[in-house]
Amino acid sequence: MKVLVVGSGGREHALCFAFQKSGKVTQIYCANGNAGIGKIAELVAIKPHEILKLADFAEQNRIDLTFVGGETSLALGIVDEFERRGLRIFGVSRRAAGLEASKSFAKDFMARHKIPTAAYKTAYSTVEAIEILEAGEFGGENAPVVVKADGLAAGKGVVVAKDRAEAIAAINELANVVGKEATEKIVLEECLFGREVSLILFADGKNFALMPPTRDHKRIGEGDTGANTGGMGTITDENFLSGEQTAAIIEEIIKPTLKGAEGEGFPIRGIIFLGLMMTATGAKVLEYNMRFGDPETQSILVRLETDLVEICDAVISQTLDKTGIKWKKGNSACIVLASKGYPAKAQTGDVISGIGEAEKLESVTIFHAGTGNDANGDFVTSGGRVLGITATADSLEESLKRAYEAVGKISFEGMQYRRDIGK
Ligand code: AMP
Ligand code: GLY
């Protein structure tokens, strides 16, 4: 069968890698991919927001299954368009994607279905947002508060402000950082405290299957300092959540989310990515993403033993309850290598050396994110996050050790990475 993966980052390379392992897949296409993906898939020059062109491509090339990597295409309704044309696709509908694409929609949904999350209020202008804070909501002048732009903002739309003055400054800056439309709806939230866990699951509308819990390191600098990024590294670890915690998340969050969405007419068939805060009073939802994470996917899919095509089939045909999903025991880690200047302004065109040597190490897989080829055919940097060096092992320590050993083999001008992933 022929599979099309939509996207161009490390997440999509990991998806192509998983499809390549499937005995059912004969040809992989990736729109629009990167140099590493180009080694295992045929690259197609269509961007994720060009959903009509993607549907045309799938029709003309008789693609049997399309898998959508990122939120842009989902929020634009790629799944609705494909399904309208009778094309098989894995991903959530436009309405379900709204749980990620609009924070106020997600918060109101959680309120309607009594899903634990931070207390919030939606403001419809910067003036109103500031008035709400000055009226003393979310604590006084010295209380921390979280400011969120309503729409998709590639990680730039959230500011955890330590006091009211910082929150007001963040509100006034939103238009500059995310764009003017970001000030038309602003969500203000109670600041939660605790440990963050990302829990990603497959859902077929009614049934679900959990993936190993992961943790992401979002800041560029060690010790969680410096600017926010798309993610500098992840680990998977079943010990992040106790059996009791998992059971509570299922009952209080996952089941009401699936039931609520179905009841409101947008059953969730695809992926739910729960950003959770483990507070003193239990797990609370920080955010919903309706797709795989990047770089969470890299560390998750290297542990997937079941054929990804079988899982996609089960989700699309709503038989996930009859499909056992097997994960490699132990742990995994993914260390992101980023280019010079990332995340402010990434320098590109630097030659990358050592990939071949690093790939020879046991249990190491290298996923490309921002890579291209120069005139000599060598890999060069072409984006902010360049590579995801991923390793599996029986323990977290060993998987980190293997991943960092592989990192040690790779170099390019100005290469940045965090030495404290998983710590
Ligand atoms: P989001 O995109 O909504 O997940 O927010 C990005 C990051 O901001 C999260 O990963 C958290 O670290 C932080 N964050 C978001 N909401 C809250 C909250 N209510 N309290 C504390 N931290 C938060
Ligand atoms: N790594 C965070 C995300 O994909 O949203």
* Ligand 1 pocket test, candidate residues 287, 291, 296, most atoms within 8 A of CB: 287
Which residue did the predictor score with more confidence, 216 or 140? 216
Ligand nearest to the CA of 11: 2
pTM of the model: 0.96
DSSP assignment letter at 136 = T
Residue ranges and CATH numbers for the domains of the chain are: 2-91 (3.40.50.20), 125-184 (3.30.1490), 195-322 (3.30.470.20), 331-407 (3.90.600.10)
Residue 199 pLDDT more than 90?
yes
Ligand nearest to the CA of 152: 1
User: What residue owns the CA closest to ligand 1's atom 8?
Assistant: 158
User: Tokens in use for 347?
Assistant: 């320098």
Closest-CA residue to 295 (of 234, 372, 382)? 234
State the pLDDT at residue 26.
Answer: 98
The residues near 398 (Cβ < 8 Å, ≥ 6 apart) are 330, 331
State the pLDDT at residue 175.
Answer: 82
Tell me the CA–centroid distance for residue 286 and ligand 1, in Å: 5
- Give the model confidence (pLDDT) of 133-170 as tens digits: 999 999 889 999 999 999 888 777 899 999 999 999 99
Exposure pattern of 300-315 as b/e (b: 16+ CB <10 Å)? bbbbbebbbbebbbbb
Tell me the CA–centroid distance for residue 262 and ligand 1, in Å: 26
Residue 182 pLDDT more than 80?
no
State the pLDDT at residue 368.
Answer: 98
User: What residue owns the CA closest to ligand 2's atom 4?
Assistant: 293
- Give the model confidence (pLDDT) of 75-127 as tens digits: 999 999 999 999 999 999 999 999 999 999 999 999 999 999 999 999 999 99
* Ligand 2 pocket test, candidate residues 71, 199, 216, 290, most atoms within 8 A of CB: 216
User: What residue owns the CA closest to ligand 2's atom 3?
Assistant: 293
User: Tokens in use for 206?
Assistant: 């009614």
Helix or strand run (H / E) with residue 277:
strand 269-279
Residue 178 pLDDT more than 90?
no
Beta strands in 102-260, from DSSP E residues, in sequence order = 120-123, 145-149, 158-161, 186-190, 195-204, 208-210, 214-216, 219-221, 225-228, 233-236
Residue showing tokens 């439309």: 181
Nearest atom of ligand 2 to the alpha carbon of 155: 5
Tell me the CA–centroid distance for residue 336 and ligand 2, in Å: 13
- Give the model confidence (pLDDT) of 245-282 as tens digits: 999 999 999 999 999 999 999 999 999 999 999 999 99
115 neighbors 283 (Cβ within 8 angstroms): no
Tell me the CA–centroid distance for residue 69 and ligand 2, in Å: 11
Tell me the CA–centroid distance for residue 131 and ligand 2, in Å: 32
Classify burial at 142, counting beta carbons within 10 Å of its beta carbon; exposed 0-12, middle 13-18, buried 19 or more.
exposed
String of DSSP letters for 30-85: EEE--TTGGGTSEEE---TT-HHHHHHHHHHTT-SEEEE-SHHHHHTTHHHHHHHT
Tell me the CA–centroid distance for residue 255 and ligand 1, in Å: 22
Q: Which residues line ligand 2 (CB under 6 A)?
A: 216, 230-231, 289, 293-294, 296
**For residue 105, which amino acid is it?**
F
